A and B are shown apart, each in its own frame.
Chain A
Amino acid sequence: MSEPLGQDEDGMTLDIPDDEPAVGRKFELAELRQKVEKVLEKLPGSLRELFVWRHVNELSYEEMAEIKGLPIGTIKNRVFQAKEMVRRILEEMS
Chain B
Amino acid sequence: MSCLRISDIYEYIDGALSPERREEMDRHLDLCPKCRQALEDRQRIAAAASSLAPFEAPDDFADRVMARVAPAKVKSPAWLIILAATSTMLAVTMMALVASGTSAVEILSRVSHSFWAYAKSAAVFTAKAAILLSLAAKAARPLVESVYGCLSALTSFINPWVQVLILMLTIGVVVSLFFGIKKRFSWGG
Contact = CB atoms under 8 A, between A and B. Distances in A.
Interface of A: 12-16, 18, 20, 22-25, 29, 32-33, 35-37, 51-52, 55-58, 66-69, 80, 83-84, 86-87, 90
19 contacts: A13-B5, A13-B7, A14-B7, A16-B38, A20-B34, A20-B37, A22-B37, A22-B41, A23-B45, A24-B40, A25-B40, A25-B41, A29-B47, A32-B44, A35-B48, A52-B55, A56-B49, A80-B10, A87-B41
A63 to B, nearest CB: 8
Contacts of B3: 15-16
B7 A12 contact: yes
A13, A35, A56, A66 — which one has the most chain B CB atoms within 10 A of its CB? A56
B35 interface: yes
Interface in B1-48: 3-7, 9-10, 34-35, 37-38, 40-48
B69 A23 contact: no
Nearest to B7: A12
Interface residues on chain B, size class = 20 to 34
A56 B50 contact: yes
A80 B4 CA distance: 15
Contacts of A57: 54
Contacts of B4: 16
Contacts of A29: 44, 47-48, 51
A51 B49 contact: yes
B40 A58 contact: no
B72 interface: no
Given A52-B55, A83-B45, A86-B45, 14 more contacts: A12-B7, A15-B6, A16-B5, A16-B6, A24-B42, A24-B48, A36-B45, A36-B48, A56-B54, A57-B54, A67-B65, A69-B68, A80-B6, A87-B41
B52 A36 contact: yes
The 8 closest A-B pairs by CB, nearest first: A24-B44, A55-B49, A32-B48, A24-B41, A12-B7, A33-B48, A14-B6, A16-B38
B5 to A, nearest CB: 5
A3 B54 CA distance: 29
B64 interface: yes
A28 to B, nearest CB: 10
Contacts of B5: 12-16
Contact of B68 (A22, A32, A66): A66
